[in-house]
């Protein structure tokens, strides 16, 4: 039957899917997938910092992500380089610095693979508390700022002209993204959190025609990916994190087929 650790893994995965569903939609709408990836890469540096200074890992990852976001804003005003180049620069250099620092930490045994791909089967009860507590918090904030954030996503000038203060909501959203990466890094790992943010939202886009529908479908897609991924990793004894993302990709392919049929029907 199901082991205790497996139920914890399921609960953790479900929690993550519930947060990444709606947030992922905004990541796609705002074209922030590369930015999410950069934040995730910097998480490795966050984890090593936590080990060096004996901080809470989630807190440290959150802090480093926030610093990185501010640094990016500074770079944008100081150079003429395009955004994707700056993001690539930050992503790979923060990853590299993290790995270099790990090299100095000879006294601490460190599982880099676990960090990169996560270890959802090793979720503890306090991790669960962090995911669900943090998750509820993130979703409540998102609910509160939904309207101005959505308006700012559609058009900056329009939102600003009609009194929405888009700068504030863009900043809050960046913080939410850093927070979600901080609480999920241990579960899905830094290479896969971006996948969880993007793939369910992408598949939802293929089969939805309004924003709310896309958010709901994206959440359902994420939940299905978690369930299918985890059960098949149990069945075939594959790595759990990558299994989840593979499941998400398969669902994405299905959404493409459905979309084609739908548009053919319309013709």
The residue from 136, 213, 238, 257 that contacts other proteins (CB under 8 A) is: 213
Q: Considering only residues 163, 235, 263, 265, which one is a binding residue for other proteins as defined by CB under 8 A?
A: 163
* 264 contributes a contact to other proteins by CB under 8 A: no
Q: How far is the CB of 169 from other proteins (least distance, A)?
A: 12
Total binding residues toward other proteins, as defined by CB under 8 A: 25
Contact, 102 vs 110, CB < 8 A?
yes
Question: In whole angstroms, how close is the CB of 161 to other proteins at the nearest point?
Answer: 4
Nearest CB to other proteins, comparing residues 109 and 266: 266
Q: How far is the CB of 193 from other proteins (least distance, A)?
A: 21
Nearest-Å Rg of the Cα atoms of the chain is 19
Task: Candidates 4, 78, 126, 161: give the one binding other proteins (CB under 8 A).
Answer: 161
Contact positions with other proteins (CB under 8 A) in 139-158: 147, 150-151, 153-155, 157-158
Distances (CA, A) of 264 to 207, 253, 261, 267: 14, 17, 5, 5
Under rule CB under 8 A, residue 171 binds other proteins = no
Query: Using the rule CB under 8 A, is 205 a contact of other proteins?
Result: yes
Nearest CB to other proteins, comparing residues 99 and 212: 212
Question: What would the two tokens of residue 233 be?
Answer: 């990793």
**Residue 102 or 149: which CB sits closer to other proteins?**
149
Angle value at C-alpha 150, between 91 and 253, nearest 5 degrees: 65
Contacting residues toward other proteins, per CB under 8 A: 28-29, 31, 147, 150-151, 153-155, 157-164, 205, 208-214
């Amino acid at each position: 039957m199901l082991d205790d650790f497996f139920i914890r893994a399921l609960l953790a995965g479900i929690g993550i899917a519930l947060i990444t569903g709606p947030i992922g939609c905004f990541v796609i709408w705002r074209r922030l997938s590369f930015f999410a990836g950069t934040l995730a890469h910097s998480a490795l540096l966050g984890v090593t910092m936590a080990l060096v200074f004996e901080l809470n890992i989630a807190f440290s990852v959150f802090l480093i992500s926030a610093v990185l976001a501010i640094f990016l804003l500074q770079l944008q005003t100081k150079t003429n380089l395009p955004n994707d180049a700056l993001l690539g620069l930050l992503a790979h250099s923060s990853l590299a610095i993290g790995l270099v620092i790990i090299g100095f930490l000879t006294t601490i045994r460190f599982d880099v693979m676990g960090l990169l791909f996560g270890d959802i089967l090793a979720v503890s009860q306090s991790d669960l508390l962090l995911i669900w507590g943090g998750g509820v918090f993130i979703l409540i904030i998102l609910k509160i700022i939904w309207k101005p954030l959505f308006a700012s996503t559609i058009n900056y000038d329009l939102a600003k002209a009609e009194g929405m203060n888009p700068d504030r909501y863009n900043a809050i959203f960046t913080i939410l993204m850093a927070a979600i990466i901080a609480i999920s890094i241990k579960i899905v790992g830094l290479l896969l959190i971006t996948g969880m943010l993007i793939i369910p939202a992408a598949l939802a886009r293929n089969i939805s025609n309004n924003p709310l529908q896309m958010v709901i479908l994206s959440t359902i897609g994420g939940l299905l990916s978690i369930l299918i991924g985890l059960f098949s990793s149990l069945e075939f004894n594959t790595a759990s994190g990558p299994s989840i993302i593979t499941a998400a990709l398969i669902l994405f392919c299905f959404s493409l087929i459905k979309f084609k049929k739908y548009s053919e029907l319309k013709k």
